[in-house]
Structure 1
Amino acid sequence: MSLLNVGARALMANQLALQTAGNNIANVNTAGYSRQTVAFQTSVGQNMGNGYIGNGADVATVMRNFSELLNRQATAAKAAGAADAARSQSLNQLQEVFSGGSNGLGAAINGMMNAFADVSSAPTDSSARQVVLTRMNELAARFRSASGQLDEMDYSTRQQMSNDVNVVNSLSEQVAALNGQISRAMATGHTPNDLLDQRDQLVRDINKYVQTSQVDAGDGSISLFVGGSQPLVLGLDSAKLSMQESTQYPGSGKMSLYFQQQGGQPVELTPAMTGGGEIAGLLQFQNNDLAEGRNLLGRMAIAIGDTLNTQNQLGLTLSGKPGGALFNIPMTTTGSTTGAQWAQPDTPTVTVKDSSQLKASDYKIVFGVDAPKGQVVRLSDGKATPFNDLADLRDNVIVDGLQFDLKNEGQAGQSVLFSPMAKAAHDIQSVVHSGNDLAAANPVSAKINSLGDAALRMSSLTVEKGFSGALPAGTTLSFSPGANGSVTYTINPAPTGVAATGTYVSGQAIALAPGLKVTLSGTPAIDGTNSDSVSFAPNTFYSSDTGNASSFLSLRDAVIFDGATTLSDGFSTTMAQIGTRTQSAAYAAKLSETIAKNLEGDRTAVSGVNLDEEAAKLLQFQQAYQASAKMLQVAQGIFDSVIQAVGR
């Protein structure tokens, strides 16, 4: 009977081994499946008096080939890779908004500025003036279109984050349910390999969306934490995540991830706390990259619109009236805060005072323990500008061309968020509908009074931002001999804000007043006490004058961005900023993908199924099974022989 028992045990053990190998082969393509191996153990031998005789082998358990360390490393790398990939993909879409080509903003800007050349050549040509208005309408439309694309990206990003949060909530509920099943199964003394595989795969799926940390309990269940310490799954219970606008700055559009336990209050998780996962990448894009894109676009709209408005207001229309604004742009915006003292109608505001100094950034006013003292913080680089109190902030502190007005004092710990450029491109409109209202003429005319043959020539009379609109009556520019054969000029009456005298250089501009320059060429004639002179008066030839149209053309090389960048370089600089950020994100995504792929390969090298290896095991266990069957056949023959012998 002992041989029969040994054979039966061997037959059953090898059958289970064959079944396990077959199960591995069947699940070779099952996500999260860990290769299983039968663990054999020798049955305790029987003392026959002359020694212990073996009783064969039994199956101790079915082991799961699994490395906890590699699994956690691969899961963390997957979370980081998902965040980088989501951000990179979104930035590629953002880059398309700032692309070049004939349909881009850069082409629209150049087209509008070039249209002023025709007006400069033919100031009374109504078609040339209408072309300028058409180009302005096209520019405003492209600004609005670009802003609309950013709004659509913002909406899509929010929807994607909300969908991801719903998926995480569903997966966390499944993990909690599996915790209960695994705990009950572990109580039997054996490991439920398939349930553990399912749970680990769910955890990996969760980390695709939000990074978690894991703590194992003694009963086989696990706890998952998000944001460092918030329990998403705790035993049989699961919490909820939600995506909402930041409660600190209502109306700002900045989103945050919120954690809420059953029956508890929502806890806002900062972007730094979310770690990795697709939600973290999308949050970084929505709150930082997309915000910068809006600021870059809005700054461009404000700077270009304000510069053109100012230039048109300096000139005269075909009817001789001062020009008006060409674009309607928001120069004052409100801030976002929860401070009760800043509720309507005392909402804090920020006003653009110098559009050429604007930085593409949001700003935050923060009050410390020494309130009402505080700081204006530029969020793009963290630069802080201190102020003493409300009056000091309003009257003395101009940050990057912006003036802040809080209306009421702040208290310790309070803050106000400002996005002065975020909506500018969305609301820009061209407000001039008649070519006659285009102010192509200068408000001042110049006349050269020559002693003889005109050796002195007028090159240009340029009106720029800062000109008051008129010169004192009888203003004259005269010349006299200077030292070493030079020529000295004198402005009479003496102007305020510029030098009344100086050395004349042919082709070099002479400032007649703040914002008004005249450029002459040639050498003025001087005869004793008399000399060539230039007299200035209000322009009465506004229908044929093109001085201000020429000033519009000169704006292409004027500094209107960051206090250092010209209009012609402004859009290319913006493209470079977005492109650099996109390339950096693409590199980070590629690096994260490589690391995640390598770690996943290390994990699957331990847990994955190798078909060649399993096929070899099938042959091995098949031969063992056949040998076990032969053992039973021999034992049966011996038993039959004994029965036959006894029966005689």
Structure 2
Amino acid sequence: MSLLNVGARALMANQMALQTTGNNIANVNTAGYSRQSVAFQTATGQNMGNGYIGNGVDVATIMRNFSELLSRQATAATAVSASDTARSQSLNQMQEVFSGGKSGLGTAISDMMNAFGDVASAPSDASARQVVLTRMNELAARFRGASAQLDELDYSTRQQMSNDVNVVNSLAEQVAALNAQISRAAATGQTPNDLLDKRDQLVRDINKYVQTSTVDGGDGSISLFIGGSQPLVLGQSTAKLSLQESKEYPGSGKMAVYFQQTGGQSIELTSAMIGGGEVAGLLQFQNNDLNEGRNLLGRMTIAIGDALNTQNQLGLTLSGEKGGALFNIPLTTSGVTTGGQWAQPNTPSVTVTDSTALNASDYKIVFGDDAPRGKVVRLSDGKTTSFNDMADLNSKRIDGLQFELKAEGARGQSVLFQPLRTAAQQVQSMVHSGNDLAAANPVAASIRSLGDAGLRMGGIQVGKGFEAAALPDPTTLSFSKDADGKVSYTITPAPTPAPPAPGGIASTGTYISGQAIELAAGLKVSLTGTPAVDGGESDTVSFGANTNYSADTGNASSFLALRDAVVFDGSTTLSDGFSAAMAQVGTRTQSAQYAATLSASIVKNLEADRMGVSGVNLDEEAAKLLQFQQAYQASAKMLQVAQGIFDSVISAVGR
């Protein structure tokens, strides 16, 4: 009987081993499945008086091949990789808005500036003027189109985040339900391997969207925390995540994930608090990268539009009138805040006072413990500018911006300003007739020469800050020569203010052929050749109001000169502005791609380590099939032998 029992035990044990191996093979492609193994143990022997005789084998349990450490490492790395990948993919889409080629913004800017060259060559040519208007309309449309592309990318990003949040809520409920099943199963003393695999896979899936930390509940259940300490799953109960606009700055477009337990208050979670997962990457893109793209586009719109507006307003139209603005650009925007004292009509505002000093950034005014003192924070790099009170703040010019708060802030309050965000969306061409292009200078010059005309007019350049009233009519340039032959010029009447007053202009100076001479604020003239000087007389140049505006092209030439004028960052010219923005976006995209590639490589390695423990190897399982098959056949043979012996005994006893 003992041999029969041993054989029966062996047969059952090897049958379970075969079934477990077959289950491994069947689930080789099942996501999250952990390889299972049969743990054998020797059955307790029987004391026969002269020693213990074995009673065969028992199956202790079906063991799950699983490493908690490797699983945690792979799950955390997956969250980081998902965040990097989502951000990289979104940046690749944004980079297309700042791409080059014939359909790009850079080409539209160049085409418009080059069109002024034809007006400079033929100021009365209606077709040349119409081409400029067409190019201006094209540029405005390109700006609006680029802004619309960013808006569409913003919308799709929000939709993706909203879908991801709904998926996380659904997965969290499934984890809580599995917690209940696993706790009941664990109470029997055995481990429910398949349920554990399913739950661990759900946890890995959640971490593709938001990063979590896991805490063992001690009864077979687990708790999942996000944002450091917020319990998404606590045993068999779950919290909810939702995607909403930031409550701190309503209307700013900045999004946040909100965590809320049943009956509790909602808590805002930033991308930094979430840590990893696709939602964190998309939040970082939407609130930072996309916002920078909008600011770069808005700064370009305002800087170029303001430069062209200013130049056109300095010149004279074909009818002799002062030119107007070419583009409608928003120079004043409102701040966003929840402070009740800043409600209408006391809404905070920011105004662009110098478009060449703009930074592609949002700004935040923060009031500290000693309010109304506070600081202005440039959010792109954290640079701060302190102020003492509202009068001090309103008097400051920060990065070409003037901030105005009509009410004081209290401790801890803040105001967000986005002066560039919507500029490209709103830009419009305002000139519809070629006659309204101010191609002529408001100032004309005439040269009186003592003899042969050795002095020639190089050009009059009217720039920002010029006021016609500041130049007396007439104003003359006369010349003198010293004993060494050095030629000097004298401006009559002397410009005001004179040095050392701020902005003062010297009434005399050394004449150098081709070098610009400043006559008044924003007005320069360049002369070539050598002026004649005879005793107390010399060649003279007289300046006054331009009456030949229909044939003059001085301001059109000034438009062309804007191509090389510095209008960005104190060093970048108008013609290079788009290239600089494209390079900035490209650098950020390349950095994100590198981070995504690196984190994906880390995930691959850690996942390989995890699968080395938990994964199913078909070759190994096939070998085990043969091993357990032979053991099963041997066990059956043992039963056959025991049956034969038993039959022999019965036969002998029966006689």
TM-score of the aligned structures, taking structure 2 as reference length: 0.98
CA deviations 1:490-522 (Å, max 9, x no partner) are 111111231111010000000010100000000
Give secondary structure in 2 for the equivalent of 1:472: coil
Corresponding position of 1:611: 618
Corresponding position of 1:573: 580
Tell me whether 1:440 sits opposite 2:460 in the alignment: no
Corresponding position of 1:309: 309
- Superposition map of 1:203-218 within 5 A: 203-218=203-218
Give secondary structure in 1 for the equivalent of 2:576: helix
Separation of aligned partners in 1, 2:612 and 2:242: 37
Corresponding position of 2:109: 109
Query: Which residue identity does 1:477 align to in structure 2?
Result: L
Give secondary structure in 2 for the equivalent of 1:209: coil
Separation of aligned partners in 1, 2:277 and 2:583: 28
Pair 1:483–1:39, CA change in 2 (3 A)? farther
Shift of 1:574: 0.5
- Superposition map of 1:479-494 within 5 A: 479-482=479-482, 484-494=484-494
Shift of 1:50: 1.4
Corresponding position of 1:134: 134
Corresponding position of 2:376: 376
Separation of aligned partners in 2, 1:505 and 1:620: 101
Shift of 1:482: 3.3
Give secondary structure in 2 for the equivalent of 1:411: coil
Corresponding position of 1:29: 29
CA deviations 1:59-117 (Å, max 9, x no partner) are 01000000000000000000000000000000000110000000000000000000000
Corresponding position of 2:420: 421
Query: Which residue identity does 1:638 align to in structure 2?
Result: I
Separation of aligned partners in 1, 2:370 and 2:95: 43
CA deviations 1:98-150 (Å, max 9, x no partner) are 00000000000000000000000000000000000000000000000000000
Separation of aligned partners in 2, 1:270 and 1:166: 17
Separation of aligned partners in 2, 1:635 and 1:281: 68
Separation of aligned partners in 2, 1:138 and 1:204: 49
State whether residues 271 and 281 of structure 2, in contact with CA within 8 Å, keep that contact through their aligned partners in structure 1.
no
Corresponding position of 1:514: 521
Q: 549-558 or 486-495: which moved more? A: 486-495
Corresponding position of 2:449: 450
Aligned length: 647
CA deviations 1:152-195 (Å, max 9, x no partner) are 00000000000000000000000000000000000000000000
Corresponding position of 2:539: 532
Shift of 1:348: 0.4
Q: CA RMSD in A?
A: 0.6
Separation of aligned partners in 2, 1:167 and 1:344: 40
Give secondary structure in 1 for the equivalent of 2:484: helix
Query: Which residue identity does 2:653 align to in structure 1?
Result: V
Give secondary structure in 2 for the equivalent of 1:544: coil
Corresponding position of 2:647: 640
Query: Which residue identity does 1:168 align to in structure 2?
Result: V
CA deviations 1:446-475 (Å, max 9, x no partner) are 000111111000010110001013421221
Separation of aligned partners in 2, 1:371 and 1:265: 29
Shift of 1:270: 2.4
Separation of aligned partners in 1, 2:569 and 2:468: 27
Separation of aligned partners in 1, 2:488 and 2:646: 136
Give secondary structure in 2 for the equivalent of 1:398: coil
Query: Which residue identity does 2:324 align to in structure 1?
Result: G
Corresponding position of 2:38: 38
CA deviations 1:570-620 (Å, max 9, x no partner) are 111101100000000000000000001100000000000000000000000
Separation of aligned partners in 2, 1:528 and 1:624: 127
Separation of aligned partners in 1, 2:42 and 2:529: 114
Corresponding position of 1:406: 405
Corresponding position of 1:331: 331
Give secondary structure in 2 for the equivalent of 1:247: coil
Corresponding position of 1:62: 62
Query: Which residue identity does 1:167 align to in structure 2?
Result: V
Q: 514-523 or 491-500: which moved more? A: 491-500
Corresponding position of 2:354: 354
Give secondary structure in 2 for the equivalent of 1:581: helix
Separation of aligned partners in 1, 2:217 and 2:370: 48
Shift of 1:625: 0.3
Give secondary structure in 1 for the equivalent of 2:410: coil
TM-score of the aligned structures, taking structure 1 as reference length: 0.99
Shift of 1:483: 5.5
Separation of aligned partners in 2, 1:284 and 1:482: 68
Give secondary structure in 1 for the equivalent of 2:14: helix
Corresponding position of 2:633: 626
Superposed structure 1 runs of 4+ greater than 6 Å apart = none
Give secondary structure in 2 for the equivalent of 1:338: coil
